[in-house]
């Protein structure tokens, strides 16, 4: 039996445990570092913590980052293992939202994931005001952790029908100046390197210079920003309690005054020296009572142990040296522990990974309008051809085009693992000493960890409330007692969506009254029915829980500013968009046909009857008595009852069977008997006991109407009937083809801003992949953006520019 099949048959919590166990075994199967574990009380708990907390990351490639209302936002989702940075085919659903400036969702959707990728879209409604919005994405599993780890990207949406947003927003002239002693603390008498970061209210970097003064007003250090408002300086605090003040001078001559962190009388200072091309040195200094006993250094990258060693403090100092080659790519955390195994200092270090090289070349340097563009795309890692999953967008460059945010490489290896907003993460992947210095300043000022050491060492990590959606979306609800609204534990509940495809989920409520149903095939907006067996449990009411996360990262606000001098460009874009909407509106609702499993949840029934093949009776009792031998109808004091015959054993199953109408349980047989049989197309019978999770059915009798919509039948009054949205239907991108003279001569205007979007580009291990599309009627320069990920985890982006000129 396959691992996937085992997971399907297991209860959710058992799957959870098995998944963690497999993660642990995979971690143990990897070769151990060639070193002695000097920290058995720390490295062991860290390995266990990582095995129990599989890290998942998402990246969205958005087709553009500036839209007009009415346009379509297209995106591709990539899911990766946050430890090894490889595609992670675990979750089958991604939750994507568009948030306004107040962090309220204005658009929400669920995207199906297959083999760690998915694709989706949003039609931007005309009611959205102009502004800067945030696109965020996460999985159900990621909801167990901080929302800072969700994918976030800023986009600009312009409503050209409204005047709002055409006036530049007011600058509140507020700035954020932060100082970060290397290792975490300033200690009396110990020289520290202090990193600093200066940004405006929206998180954008600001160039500045300044000086540091002690409590007497004496200048003790000077500084100036380097790349992206970052920099560092050295400071040796004279005494504990001495307050150090920084005076910052901005380009507009405004002067800011900020306090540095307080000086401690005793403690630890960490210094990382990366001046050698082959070796790193980590110097740990201690003062006061902290200088007693040995210190230990642990280095881990994404919770994988990379280095551990211990050393005595000689003269208040210990030095650790290690080869750069022993460290994995990406961000490494260096943590210093004292003799009591308490973390006392931490420092981050970045080593750029091997990137996926994407070669994208066009067959011509420039094109005419309505001309075919042929591209060749190939991928490699170093000199080796490397198959990859890619996505590609081609859009027109104009004065309104927003700056391109982090590519997949910069996001997965930097932005996703650092706190706050990283300006231009892709910059840090180029070689050169200037980039290395900028990366080191970034590591000084953007410290971040996905866990707290006390959680690791005590063995009491946070409770993981949300299970991974391994086989489809999980619908969560709650059963409450009528009157008191108290949780109702141990109650068997049923979830169904009326359909010709008979699917039913059963679950038993937990101590908090919560129920979880695995729904693998729900697509688009549907009615769902949540209920209990009203013949046994009729004193409860129900609610469905919102599947979207209610927690939000504290991101800086970036108010929208549309300068008045760009009104002409906005007017042109508005006109082009309206022309496209007028002539091509019908192509906005093209959806791919999704293969669905039409088999009922109980498989093939033992008895199947198409009622049109028999004499059509006007009373349901006659239908069952005349040609459904597997079902016996009995009349008792409270009305009709069904009994199913177990044909294999030749006995009657004395308890009532599960009765379904279009997949919805009906527990009162009188209501089925009152149903007009002329509305029923087929009848199926399972004539043996059937187990489904916690439920046992004494046979199944399933009625299906012609439309699969209950044909006017109303569910039980005590049931919860509610609309519920499944995963998105996959909208297809439409682009006209001008491959015939008639098409090229068509008088329909083609004012597309987005020429091409393809989220399903794949390359092989050799050769290149051909792609083609046609230009429209707009001359200008067009940007081609290709991004993607290899199966081994190499990520990469490539951008080229095409020119379109009208034919002479």
Residues 6+ apart with CB under 8 A from 646: 652, 653, 687, 688, 689, 699
CB 371 within 8 A of CB 755: no
Percentage of the chain lying above the pLDDT 70 cut:
91
pLDDT for the residue 591: 80
Q: Which of 293, 280, 287, 279 is nearest to 191 (CA)?
A: 287
Strand-pair category, 473-481 with 492-496: unpaired
In this predicted model, what pLDDT tens digit does every residue of 157-177 receive, in sequence order?
999 887 544 444 444 458 899
In this predicted model, what pLDDT tens digit does every residue of 467-507 receive, in sequence order?
999 999 999 999 999 988 899 999 999 999 999 999 999 99
Residue 750 CB-density burial (10 A; 0-12 exposed, 13-18 middle, 19+ buried):
buried
CB 623 within 8 A of CB 683: yes
Q: How confident is the model at residue 563 (pLDDT cuts 50, 70, 90)?
A: low
Q: How confident is the model at residue 795 (pLDDT cuts 50, 70, 90)?
A: very high
pLDDT for the residue 418: 87
Give the span between the Cα atoms of 233 and 358, in whole angstroms.
Answer: 39
Q: How confident is the model at residue 700 (pLDDT cuts 50, 70, 90)?
A: very high
Give the span between the Cα atoms of 363 and 771, in whole angstroms.
Answer: 11
CB 544 within 8 A of CB 528: yes
Please report, for residues 87, 140, 503, the alpha-carbon distance to residue 55 in angstroms, rounded to integers and kept in the order given.
12, 12, 32
Q: Is the pLDDT of residue 429 over 90?
A: yes
Q: Is the pLDDT of residue 44 over 50?
A: yes
Q: Is the pLDDT of residue 289 over 80?
A: no
Q: Give the residue extent of every domain in the chain.
A: 3-52, 170-351+422-462, 473-544, 608-627+647-725
Beta strands in 63-146 (DSSP E): 66-68, 72-81, 93-99, 105-112, 117-123, 131-138
Count CA atoms closer than 13 A to 155's CA, side-chain side. 25
In this predicted model, what pLDDT tens digit does every residue of 704-735 receive, in sequence order?
999 999 999 999 999 999 999 999 999 999 99
pLDDT for the residue 242: 78
| Comparison of pLDDT for 241 and 537, the residue scoring more | 537
| Token pair recorded at residue 431 | 């070689």
Angle at 326 between CA 324 and CA 332, to 5 degrees: 75
| Comparison of pLDDT for 808 and 303, the residue scoring more | 303
**pLDDT-wise least confident of 15-19, 238-242, 430-434, 760-764:** 15-19
pLDDT for the residue 379: 96
Give the span between the Cα atoms of 276 and 593, in whole angstroms.
Answer: 58
pLDDT for the residue 535: 87
**pLDDT-wise least confident of 260-269, 456-465, 616-625:** 456-465
* Helix (H/G/I), strand (E/B), else coil: 74: strand
Give the span between the Cα atoms of 665 and 702, in whole angstroms.
Answer: 9
What's the whole-number mean pLDDT along residues 427-450? Answer: 89
In this predicted model, what pLDDT tens digit does every residue of 178-223 receive, in sequence order?
999 999 999 999 999 999 999 987 788 999 999 999 988 899 999 9
Q: Is the pLDDT of residue 564 over 70?
A: no
Q: Is the pLDDT of residue 464 over 90?
A: no
Q: Is the pLDDT of residue 570 over 80?
A: no
Q: What is the mean pLDDT of the chain?
A: 88
pLDDT for the residue 38: 62
Q: Is the pLDDT of residue 26 over 80?
A: no
* Per CATH, domain 170-351+422-462 is 2.60.40.10: yes
What's the whole-number mean pLDDT along residues 243-267? Answer: 92
Q: How confident is the model at residue 698 (pLDDT cuts 50, 70, 90)?
A: very high
């Amino acid at each position: 039996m396959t691992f996937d099949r085992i997971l399907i048959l297991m209860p959710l919590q058992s799957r959870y445990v098995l998944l963690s166990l497999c993660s642990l075994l995979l971690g143990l199967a990897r070769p151990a570092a060639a070193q002695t574990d000097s920290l058995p009380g720390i490295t062991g708990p860290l390995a266990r913590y990582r095995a129990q907390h599989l890290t998942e990351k998402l990246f969205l490639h958005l087709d553009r980052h500036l839209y007009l209302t009415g346009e379509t936002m297209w995106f591709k989702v990539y899911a990766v293992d946050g430890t090894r940075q490889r595609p992670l085919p675990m979750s089958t659903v991604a939750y994507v939202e568009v948030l306004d400036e107040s962090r309220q969702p204005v658009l929400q959707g669920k995207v199906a994931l297959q083999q760690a990728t998915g694709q989706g879209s949003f039609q931007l409604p005309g009611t959205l005001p102009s502004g800067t919005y945030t696109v965020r994405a996460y999985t159900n599993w990621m909801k167990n952790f901080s929302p800072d780890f969700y994918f976030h990207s800023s986009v600009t949406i312009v409503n050209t029908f409204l005047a709002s947003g055409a006036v530049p927003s007011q600058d509140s002239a507020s700035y954020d100046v932060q100082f970060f002693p290397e290792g975490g603390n300033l200690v009396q008498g110990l020289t520290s390197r202090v990193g600093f970061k200066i940004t405006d209210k929206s998180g954008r970097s600001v160039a500045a210079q300044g000086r540091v003064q002690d409590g007497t007003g004496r200048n003790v250090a000077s500084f100036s920003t380097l790349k992206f408002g970052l920099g560092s300086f050295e400071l040796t605090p004279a005494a504990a309690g001495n307050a150090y003040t920084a005076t910052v001078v901005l380009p507009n001559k405004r002067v800011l005054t900020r306090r540095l962190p307080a000086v401690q009388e005793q403690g630890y200072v960490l210094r990382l020296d990366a001046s050698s091309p082959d070796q790193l040195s980590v110097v740990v200094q201690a003062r006061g009572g902290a200088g007693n006993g040995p210190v230990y250094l642990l280095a881990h990258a994404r919770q994988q142990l990379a280095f551990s060693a211990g050393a005595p403090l000689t003269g208040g100092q210990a030095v650790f040296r290690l080869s750069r080659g022993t460290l994995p790519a990406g961000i490494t955390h260096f943590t210093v522990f004292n003799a009591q195994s308490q973390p006392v200092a931490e420092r981050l270090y970045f080593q750029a990974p091997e990137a996926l090289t994407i070669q994208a070349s066009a067959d011509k340097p420039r094109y005419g309008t309505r001309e075919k563009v042929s591209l060749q795309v190939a991928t490699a890692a170093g000199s080796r051809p490397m198959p990859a999953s890619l996505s590609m967008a081609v859009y027109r460059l104009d004065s309104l085009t927003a700056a391109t945010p982090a590519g997949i490489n910069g996001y997965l290896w930097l932005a996703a693992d650092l706190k706050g907003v990283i300006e231009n993460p892709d910059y840090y992947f180029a070689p050169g000493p200037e980039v290395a210095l900028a990366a080191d300043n970034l590591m000084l000022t953007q410290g971040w960890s996905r866990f707290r050491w006390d959680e690791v060492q005590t063995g009491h990590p946070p409770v993981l409330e949300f299970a991974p959606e391994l086989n489809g979306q999980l619908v969560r609800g709650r059963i409450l007692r009528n009157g008191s609204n108290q949780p109702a534990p141990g109650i068997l509940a049923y979830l169904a969506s009326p359909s010709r495809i008979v699917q039913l989920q059963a679950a038993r409520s937990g101590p908090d009254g919560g129920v979880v149903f695995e729904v693998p095939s729900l697509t688009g907006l549907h009615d769902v029915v949540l209920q209990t067996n009203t013949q046994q449990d009729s004193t409860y009411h129900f609610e469905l829980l919102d599947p979207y996360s209610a927690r939000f990262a504290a991101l800086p606000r970036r108010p929208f500013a549309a300068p008045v001098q760009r009104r002409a460009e906005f007017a042109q874009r508005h006109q082009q968009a309206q022309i496209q909407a007028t002539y091509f509106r019908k192509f906005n609702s093209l959806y791919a046909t999704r293969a669905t499993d039409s088999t009922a949840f109980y498989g093939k029934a033992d008895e199947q009857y198409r009622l049109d093949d028999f004499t059509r009776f006007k009373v349901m009792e006659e239908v069952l008595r005349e040609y459904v031998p597997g079902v016996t109808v009995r009349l008792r004091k409270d009305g009709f009852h069904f009994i199913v015959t177990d044909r294999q054993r030749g006995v009657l199953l004395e308890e009532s069977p599960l009765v379904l109408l279009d997949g919805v349980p009906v527990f009162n047989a009188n209501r089925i008997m009152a149903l007009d049989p002329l509305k029923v197309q087929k009848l199926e019978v399972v004539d043996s006991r059937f187990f489904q999770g916690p439920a046992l059915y004494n046979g199944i009798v399933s009625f299906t109407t012609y439309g699969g919509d209950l044909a006017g039948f109303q569910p039980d009054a005590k049931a919860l009937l509610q609309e519920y949205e499944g995963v998105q239907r996959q909208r297809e991108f439409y682009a006209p083809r001008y491959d015939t003279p008639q098409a090229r001569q068509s008088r329909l205007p083609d004012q597309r801003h987005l020429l091409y979007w393809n989220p399903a580009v794949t390359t092989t291990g050799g050769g290149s992949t051909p792609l083609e599309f046609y230009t429209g009627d707009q001359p200008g320069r067009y940007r081609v953006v290709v991004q993607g990920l290899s199966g081994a985890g190499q990520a990469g982006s490539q951008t080229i520019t095409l020119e379109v000129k009208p034919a002479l």
